[in-house]
Structure 1
């Protein structure tokens, strides 16, 4: 206990007041510097995360808008282009569902329904639906800015479409018609490819073989042989 008494006596003495004051000031300075550094680091990390989130949102929405543009002219795409477009739509759908935005699953379901409608309209009418693509883009941008309110609108749209589908007695006929239109598109493209290959084969230059008196064979194109 003697050392404790000596320490208390030294702390309460007038000679140690300047030393104690300097130690207290140094302690609070180090503590304030640590807190400030932690706050700056946390703010920097939050800014980086927010920037990456904005980039991910912009990339996902841009992919969906591009998919909507291709869906609006779906009937004019080749089967290979349609496969690539469907793959891009699938990747964009995953990106949207993984976004840190409230209601991203509902937005992905809404976008999938709208893309299907654009494909169906393109196959039925055969022209680009510019107003529908613009509305699709604006709704997604509105969802990015105000996810809470737009989420309710998307949910209402999905419920309305589900009700309309259940109340439509000719829905199986519509589905069969869409399947028939898609099959006709593939058959028409297959016939066009076959005709093109046949035309190229018929116009390919032929070669003739001539044997001179010395027994040497020479190969010449058909046009030169005629001359």
Structure 2
């Protein structure tokens, strides 16, 4: 225990005060440096995450706006192009729902309804609805900038559309949409159907097979 007594005696002496002061300053400096480094690293990570979130938001909204442009000319697309467009819309819908923005699912539901309306308007009127596409784009950009305020507007629109869906006129609209889609499909089936082989073609047949109608 002699070394302990010597240590305590040295700590109580005036000669130990400079060394103790230097040790305390060094300890405080190390703690402050560690906290500062942790704060800088946390801020850098937050900036990277925020930048990544902005890129995801921009990509998802751009995909929906592009889908709105295709939906506005839906009736002029071939069935194959419509399938590809629907797949792109589905992927964009998932991306929007997974965005770290408040009300992302509400915005996705609102966008899905608007895209359906653009398709129906294209099938009915047959031309690109530039004002409707521009309004869709502006509303999505507004949601990105002010998610809380725009979320309430989207919810009000969805509630109004749900109430309108219960009216008898909506049944007629759905029947008209189904008829327009059937006509569109039949039109492209007619234009893409192979022509019958003529008699005496390159296959060497003298007569064409008789078809029963």
TM-score (norm 1): 0.84
Residue 183 of structure 1 aligns with which residue? 182
CA contact (8 A) 2:75 2:123 kept: yes
Residue 83 of structure 1 aligns with which residue? 83
Shift of residue 171 of structure 1? 1.8
Residue 33 of structure 1 aligns with which residue? 33
Shift of residue 2 of structure 1? 5.6
Q: In structure 1, the residue corresponding to 2:195 is in which secondary structure?
A: helix
CA contact (8 A) 2:106 2:151 kept: yes
- 2:150 & 2:4 partners in 1: Cα distance? 68
Alignment deviations for residues 2-39 of structure 1 (CA, whole Å, 9 cap, x no partner): 65543332112111111111111110111111111101
Residue 67 of structure 1 aligns with which residue? 67
- 1:185 & 1:29 partners in 2: Cα distance? 75
- Gapped runs of 5+ residues in structure 1? 209-227
Q: In structure 2, the residue corresponding to 1:52 is in which secondary structure?
A: helix
Shift of residue 144 of structure 1? 0.3
Alignment deviations for residues 126-180 of structure 1 (CA, whole Å, 9 cap, x no partner): 01000000000000000000000000000000001111111x2122221111011
CA contact (8 A) 2:72 2:121 kept: yes
Larger radius of gyration: 1
Alignment deviations for residues 65-120 of structure 1 (CA, whole Å, 9 cap, x no partner): 00000000000000000000000000000000000000000000000000000000
Equivalent residues, number:
202
- Gapped runs of 5+ residues in structure 2? 205-213
CA contact (8 A) 2:164 2:170 kept: no
TM-score (norm 2): 0.90
Within 5 Å, which residues of 2 pair with 1:134-173?
134-166=134-166, 168-173=167-172
More displaced, 66-75 or 22-31?
Answer: 22-31
- 1:198 & 1:207 partners in 2: Cα distance? 15
Within 5 Å, which residues of 2 pair with 1:1-227?
3-166=3-166, 168-194=167-193, 197-198=194-195, 206=202
- 2:145 & 2:7 partners in 1: Cα distance? 63
- 1:207 & 1:85 partners in 2: Cα distance? 40
- 1:207 & 1:98 partners in 2: Cα distance? 57
Structure with bigger RCO (C-alpha 8 Å, 6+ apart): 2
